[in-house]
Amino acid sequence: MALTPEEQTKRREVMRGVMVKTPYIASLGIVVERWDPDGVTLRMPFDPELTNDGAVYHGGAVASLMDTTGAAAVWAGHDFDKGARAATISMTINYTGAAVQADLLADAVCVKRGRELAFSEIRVHDPDDKPVATGTLVYRIAP
């Protein structure tokens, strides 16, 4: 039996909370700034523990933000009749700059939804819109 539009919306909102409460993501301090079927914006507050030198983010922290944001863009518009078991399949990252002692913002949109695979484009920048990274994510949600 198919979920109603209201049930779909409710499940998407539940995922909004679940995404940032998982232990690893919560440890990064990631919070949702925007969440709708057209895209998401997540923020990772500056923390010197996530840097190489106390000032510039480690690439792994940026990658974690990108993975989370790309997946969130898929969940924000997902059809839960198609399933809820999920995993990142692949991710490509292009580091384009450094954010120095600043929060990071990541914007993502899901650009294609297939039967089980969804594709997101992600852009990371600082609050002044200085580019930090771009990338793509392939995410699988199965029954």
pLDDT tens, 78-93? Answer: 999 999 999 999 999 9
Q: What is the mean pLDDT of residues 117-125?
A: 98
DSSP letters, 115-131, are SSEEEEEEEEE-TT--E
pTM above the 0.85 mark?
yes
CATH code for the domain in which residue 74 is found: 3.10.129.10
* pLDDT for position 38: 94
pLDDT tens, 10-56? Answer: 999 999 999 999 999 999 999 999 999 999 999 999 999 999 999 99
Structure tokens at 9: 């919306």
* pLDDT for position 1: 72
Q: Which of 99, 23, 102 is nearest to 59 (CA)?
A: 99
Average pLDDT, the chain: 96
Q: What per-residue string of b and e applies to 75-108 under the rule 16 or more CB within 10 Å gives b?
A: bbbbebeeeeebeeeebebeeeebbeebebbbbb
Confidence tier at 137 by pLDDT (50, 70, 90): very high
pLDDT at residue 102 above 90? yes
Domain count, the chain: 1
- What residues are paired with 39 via a beta bridge? 36
Query: Which residues constitute the domain of residue 58?
Result: 5-142
Q: What is the mean pLDDT of residues 64-81?
A: 97
